[in-house]
């Protein structure tokens, strides 16, 4: 078979496999969703904290995929060609993620201290920040973020679908043209969104590194998800024709790089605050290294950075799916732990937890959201060819896979 013949054959994904996984995710999402609704009546404050954890995890998969999609349009690469439709399917979940934000919008008074006039009135810091941390401005900015993300996602996925039937260069040129400014807008909007939705949970604290941490988390979590999916899809046509261990190796190297980037941003933030030693800055870390929360901090150091870093240094491990997938699953699990560590210890309205605390809604709400997210993602992935038919790099991808 030649490269031209390969591009003309059926490039459809393994629909039966994706339907099976979609069904499992949907069952988990609905079952946990029922418990989540129950939690809204029994413990609404705790439920909203757990819901925010799950929302930030789903958002990281969606926006991380959109960012990788734009990076790939700018740089290319065989690994990106294999994952492009995975990234696009995740980007298409943006309408669902937008709808997921509604409970946070409705429950913002239970999450954010700065929405309480009595808290602001007696606090000089909150009064000084009121020009930015106010309900109308927060809502308007959220509308801007989601509008921007949905427009970018629509253009990237709509024009990509056109590429399956239109082989003219104008299609992929348009994709490259939107990717360059799109990456800048992504970075800026994520910085502001992380400030609005998570950092403002503790309105007295601030960090200029905070938004970069979320960008690193988005890219790292999405790469870990891609590795798991590529190994799963590589057992079926058409992926079995083009999947090679060196492509898995490339993804493993990217996951190693992003593990170090996340650690660098985290350490830089801690070092800057430790050197300044200002009361309004160190309070954020004091709340996370006392009362048992140091256990979670230790988990992040060991399981989010040290262990994956040491394992991913091995070339053989990055080329062995049986060893690389467990590392990727560990990274995905630690994304939940990281979100939990960022959200729960903050001085929010309602019950305050100075000691480590794990409410049952912190588990069921994220499972419900991620289950529904993955079901929609799998449905999107099953609807298009798994490889872009008229992508200029597709012949090179096939030829390099059959060079030996």
Spatial distance between the Cα atoms of 328 and 82, rounded to a whole number of angstroms: 17
pLDDT given at position 63? 98
Residues written for the chain: 404
Overall number of domains in the chain: 1
Q: With CA atoms as reference, report the closest residue to 86 among 189, 191, 185, 234.
A: 234
Give the H/E segment covering residue 341. helix 321-343
User: Are the beta carbons of 250 and 79 closer than 8 angstroms?
Assistant: yes
pLDDT given at position 5? 56
pLDDT given at position 163? 85
User: Are the beta carbons of 25 and 33 closer than 8 angstroms?
Assistant: no
> 15 is written with which tokens?
């629909």
Cβ neighbours of residue 282 under 8 Å, at least 6 residues apart? 273, 274
pLDDT given at position 403? 59
* Crossing angle of the two packed helices 321-343 and 210-233, in degrees rounded to 10: 150
Q: Is 24 exposed, middle or buried (0-12, 13-18, 19+ CB in 10 A)?
A: middle
Other Cβ atoms within 10 Å of 77 Cβ, number? 16
- Which DSSP category does 360 fall into? T
User: Are the beta carbons of 311 and 269 closer than 8 angstroms?
Assistant: no
Other Cβ atoms within 10 Å of 33 Cβ, number? 18
User: Are the beta carbons of 382 and 13 closer than 8 angstroms?
Assistant: yes
Cβ neighbours of residue 373 under 8 Å, at least 6 residues apart? 29, 58, 61, 62, 93, 96, 97, 100
Count of alpha carbons within 13 angstroms of residue 51, beta-carbon side: 26
Model pTM above 0.75: yes
Q: Could you read off the pLDDT of 255-300 as tens digits, one per residue? A: 999 999 999 999 999 999 988 888 778 889 998 989 999 999 999 9
Tally DSSP H helices, then E strands, for the chain: 21, 0
User: Are the beta carbons of 202 and 129 closer than 8 angstroms?
Assistant: no
> 49 is written with which tokens?
């904290």
pLDDT given at position 169? 82
> 207 is written with which tokens?
């960090």
Give SS3 for 23: helix
Which residue numbers in the chain have pLDDT < 70? Answer: 1-10, 395, 398-404
Long-range contacts of 75-81 (CB under 8 A, 24+ apart): 76/393, 77/250, 78/247, 78/250, 78/393, 78/396, 78/397, 78/400, 79/247, 79/250, 79/251, 79/254, 81/242, 81/387, 81/388, 81/391, 81/393, 81/394, 81/397
For the CA atoms of 63, 64, 68, 70, the dihedral, rounded to the nearest 10 degrees, stands at: 20
Domain span at 215: 3-401
Spatial distance between the Cα atoms of 286 and 69, rounded to a whole number of angstroms: 38
Other Cβ atoms within 10 Å of 347 Cβ, number? 17
User: Are the beta carbons of 269 and 322 closer than 8 angstroms?
Assistant: no
pLDDT given at position 66? 98
Spatial distance between the Cα atoms of 169 and 191, rounded to a whole number of angstroms: 34
């Amino acid at each position: 078979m030649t490269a031209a013949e390969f591009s003309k054959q059926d490039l459809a994904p393994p629909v039966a496999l994706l339907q099976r996984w979609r069904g499992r995710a949907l069952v988990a999402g609905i079952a946990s969703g029922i418990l989540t609704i129950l939690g809204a009546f029994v413990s609404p404050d705790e439920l909203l904290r757990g819901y925010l954890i799950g929302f930030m995890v789903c958002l990281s998969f969606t926006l991380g995929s959109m960012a990788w999609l734009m990076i790939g349009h700018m740089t290319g690469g065989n690994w990106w060609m294999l994952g492009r439709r995975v990234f696009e399917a995740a980007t298409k979940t943006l309408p669902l993620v937008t709808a997921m934000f509604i409970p946070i919008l409705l429950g913002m008074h239970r999450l954010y201290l700065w929405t309480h006039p009595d808290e602001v009135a007696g606090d000089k810091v909150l009064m000084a920040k009121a020009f930015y941390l106010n309900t109308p401005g927060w809502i308007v900015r959220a509308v801007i973020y989601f509008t921007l993300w949905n427009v970018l996602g629509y253009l990237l996925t709509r024009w990509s679908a056109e590429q399956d039937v239109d082989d003219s260069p104008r299609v992929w040129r348009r994709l490259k043209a939107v990717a360059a400014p799109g990456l800048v807008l992504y970075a800026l909007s994520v910085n502001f969104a992380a400030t609005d939705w998570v950092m403002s949970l503790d309105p007295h604290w601030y960090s200029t590194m905070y938004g970069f941490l979320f960008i690193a988390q988005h890219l790292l979590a999405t790469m870990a998800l891609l590795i798991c999916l590529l190994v799963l899809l590589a057992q079926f046509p058409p992926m079995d024709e083009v999947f090679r261990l060196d492509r898995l190796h490339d993804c493993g190297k990217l996951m190693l790089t992003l593990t170090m980037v996340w650690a660098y941003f985290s350490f830089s933030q801690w070092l800057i605050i430790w050197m300044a030693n200002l009361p309004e800055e160190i309070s954020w870390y004091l709340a996370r290294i006392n009362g048992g929360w140091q256990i979670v901090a230790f988990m992040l150091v060991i399981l989010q950075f040290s262990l994956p870093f040491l394992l991913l240094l091995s070339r053989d491990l990055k080329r062995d799916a049986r060893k690389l997938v467990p590392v990727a699953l560990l990274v995905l699990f630690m994304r939940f732990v990281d979100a939990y560590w960022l959200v729960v210890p903050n001085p929010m309205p309602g019950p305050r937890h100075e000691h480590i605390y794990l409410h049952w809604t912190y588990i069921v709400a994220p499972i419900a959201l991620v289950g529904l997210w993955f079901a929609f993602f799998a449905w999107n992935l099953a609807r298009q060819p798994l490889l872009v038919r008229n992508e200029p790099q597709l012949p090179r991808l096939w030829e390099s896979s059959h060079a030996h």
